[in-house]
Structure 1
Amino acid sequence: MIQRVQSLYLTIVFILNAVIFNLLPASDFIFDNILGDNTYMIVSILFYASALLALISIFKYKNRQLQFVLGRLNMLLNAVLVGIFVYGSLNLPGESSFSEKGIGVLLPIISIVFIVIANKAIKKDEDLVKSVDRFR
């Protein structure tokens, strides 16, 4: 049953974290000057891990509890990404010659919103199955 609504939300999360991350600038200035060279690699790994978790979660439609747990883990990964971006943004020097923070720092927040909506749909499906099982 891949055609459920939570699969659509998880596909959006996959596209945001795997494809859009490479297209939108996530503020190279933060990575180069504030956080160091290895941080970009760590952030890339976290984005791709989040995309992989969303993809795995799409195909675990028979095990809704595991799908729900993978969604929670994915929210945790995106919260770590938000924390890294907030830390980097707070440590930016005052107004420099250019003021670029990059729109890519919003991707984890958007991903968290879609994962929360997908988890609500998963919970709704689980409640529906439990209510049908009570009638048997």
Structure 2
Amino acid sequence: MLQRIQTIYLIIVILLLGALYQWFPTMNDSTGAPVMERTEWLFFGLIFGGIAITIISILSFKKRQLQFVLNRLTILTNLVLLGVFVYRSLTLSGESLLSEKGIGVLLPIISIVFLVLANKAIKKDEDLVKSVDRLR
């Protein structure tokens, strides 16, 4: 399981999504308590959903086709997450306490790249297994 390169790529995706969770600023009200808006709930749901799907994908290493589909689902989750970032950055008025622009917006794109690399490695493994089956 861990000796496969796609598992390493998927672990990197989990770390990137975890870093994105740590990076994302929450808005505070006048008393200093965090306030959750609708887009923030969507944001946190997408992050934890992406992490959960990626963990399930790592654990289903014997079912390569399912792993391939789960990675595609995580790519879609990251694209929606990127859309939430764009929506949020376009609707904010003025500059907030923490800037919305920066490395955090790039983290979903970087995780999509690693998911594509993982899918290529899974496809390579699948082709190798099919070629061995043909020789028998």
TM (norm. structure 2) is 0.84
Partner of 1:81: 81
Q: Which runs of 5+ in 2 are unaligned?
A: 30-35
Structure with higher RCO (Cα < 8 A, 6+ apart): 1
Partner of 2:19: 20
CA distance in 1, matches of 2:98, 2:40: 19
Q: Deviations over 1:92-121 (max 9, x none)?
A: 33x547681243222211111110000000
Partner of 1:121: 121
Say whether residues 1:65 and 2:65 are aligned partners: yes
Partner of 2:8: 8
- Per the alignment, do residues 98 and 21 of structure 1 end up closer, same or farther by CA in structure 2, a change over 3 Å counting? closer
CA distance in 2, matches of 1:71, 1:88: 25
Within 5 Å, give how 1:101-120 maps onto structure 2. 101-102=100-101, 103-120=103-120
Q: Residue type of the partner of 1:129?
A: V
Partner of 2:37: 37
CA distance in 1, matches of 2:22, 2:49: 17
TM (norm. structure 1) is 0.84
CA distance in 1, matches of 2:78, 2:19: 15
- Per the alignment, do residues 100 and 3 of structure 1 end up closer, same or farther by CA in structure 2, a change over 3 Å counting? same
Q: Residue type of the partner of 1:68?
A: F
Partner of 2:32: none
- Per the alignment, do residues 99 and 130 of structure 1 end up closer, same or farther by CA in structure 2, a change over 3 Å counting? same
The percent of aligned pairs where both chains have the same amino acid is 53
Q: Is the 8 A contact 1:85 1:105 kept in 2?
A: yes
CA distance in 2, matches of 1:97, 1:117: 35
How far the C-alpha of 1:21 sits from its partner, in A, is: 2.2
Partner of 1:131: 131
Q: Which moved more, 1:81-90 or 1:115-124?
A: 81-90
Q: Which has the higher helix share?
A: 1
